[in-house]
Amino acid sequence: MEVAQQTGSPGVSKWNIRHKIWDYMEANNLADFPRPVHHRIPNFKGSFQMSDPLQTWDAFEKAREVKVDPDKPLEGIRLAVLQARKTLLVPTPRLRTGLFNRIVPPSGATKETLKKCATSQGIRDYSVPVGLDAKVQVDLVVVGSVAVSDKGWRIGKGEGFADMEYAMMVSMGAVREDTIVVTAVHDCQVVDIPEELLGDHDLIVDYILTPTRVIKTGCRCPKPRGILWHKISYEMLEKIPILKNLRYREKQEGKVVALRDEQPDVPAAGKPARVARKSRPESSHFQDKTSLSQANPEDEALSDKWPLSAAPVTVYVGSIPQGTRVSELKDALRASHVTPARLIWQGAQHRAFLNYNDQTTADTAAAALQGLSLRGSPLRVELARNQRSKLASRPQ
């Protein structure tokens, strides 16, 4: 397919691949509600029937507990799990209150009721939390994807939750090395993915379901073997409380659980500057290999590796339209070949700040972003010191 050929070009990034898939599916009307598919796991046409090949597998027949992501295109698979009277586990929204919820249909549920249980609303109405001490043994994991290669390398929508969820399942002993991981996508979402984009935290899939075929990837790359604590920040630990419990358990077991902020060569972004350890300067860039520390891209910096020994030079981006997502700004920056060391998002105040290591780089970025617009509205882009001086000169 044309989209598959385009993704194999030199210098391609995960974001390039995502947007080619999203643009292609929109242009060719290959998705159902919700639209547009951008920044989503696409609900491709025919997704509801993807449970048919799944049900013919021995692995599915033998599975007792199945974890399925809450994405819309996996609704048919969730229904198949419930109809087969298996335990259906779904991750809690953004992992804020735990890891799993178990879907519990009402007694004597009809097929129509089970269909409701399989929807996002049903997940809210018919689920109960699963405690960390519960004896969970997931036999099959089904994840959503934006793109996947026939080698089993997967790209999600960029938030890293599927990778984190699997790592947490490893930590709590809920999956084994032979636990099968499956994804369901449209044929156009099966593309070449350069091996160099694969990170040590990225989840590999064993099978790919499409409307026309079942692909056994045969991938020999290891799946995540646990939580990569050196990629976890203090801020993320606060956002995902279950991480604290898992970290305590692993620490009691004698495992190394030093956080990213505690590494000797990484600034302690979650601590006050006065207690931060001395760090060596880092050359920062956009991290297309989505870090497990980016639990919430809506308010998280692109990179927290900021050299505390140097004062940042900041570019102010203002007049951001109401409702704009930080991912839209990130896309626009990438399209303009602008790569800040850190992005500070203040969408509620219609602004953002781009930090740079030196004046020259900041000047270049500010010049490149002149005339930039989002959602049809022009943005205000200038060096932050100019912004401060203008605010100071206004009559009070």
Please report the pLDDT score of residue 177 as a whole number: 84
Domain residue spans in the chain?
2-216, 229-275, 313-393
Q: What is the DSSP letter of 3?
A: H
The token duo for 111 is 């097929």
Mapped onto helix, strand or coil, the DSSP state of residue 373 is strand
Cβ-proximal residues to 273 (8 Å cutoff; 6+ apart), any chain? 308
Q: What is the DSSP letter of 281?
A: -
For helices 161-171 and 241-252, what crossing angle results, to 10°?
40
Q: Which residue has the tokens 């990778």?
A: 163
Domain 313-393 classified CATH 3.40.50.2300? no
Please report the pLDDT score of residue 123 as a whole number: 87
Q: Which amino acid does the sequence have at 297?
A: P
Per-residue pLDDT 10s for the chain (396 aa) are 456 445 545 568 899 999 999 999 999 999 999 999 999 999 999 999 998 888 888 889 999 999 999 999 999 999 999 999 999 999 887 676 678 899 999 988 999 999 999 998 998 889 898 887 788 999 999 999 999 999 999 999 987 788 888 999 998 889 988 899 999 999 999 999 998 888 888 899 999 999 999 999 987 778 888 998 988 888 888 888 888 889 998 999 998 889 887 765 544 444 433 333 333 333 333 333 333 333 333 333 333 332 333 457 889 899 999 888 888 898 889 888 888 888 888 888 888 989 888 787 888 888 889 888 888 888 999 887 543 444 344 443
CA 133 to CA 145: how far, in whole Å? Answer: 29
- Condensed to tens digits (0 to 9), the pLDDT of residues 197-233 reads 888 888 999 999 999 999 999 877 788 889 989 888 8
Please report the pLDDT score of residue 264 as a whole number: 58
Please report the pLDDT score of residue 115 as a whole number: 94
The token duo for 147 is 């793109």
Q: Which CATH superfamily is domain 2-216 in?
A: NagB/RpiA/CoA transferase-like (3.40.50.10420)
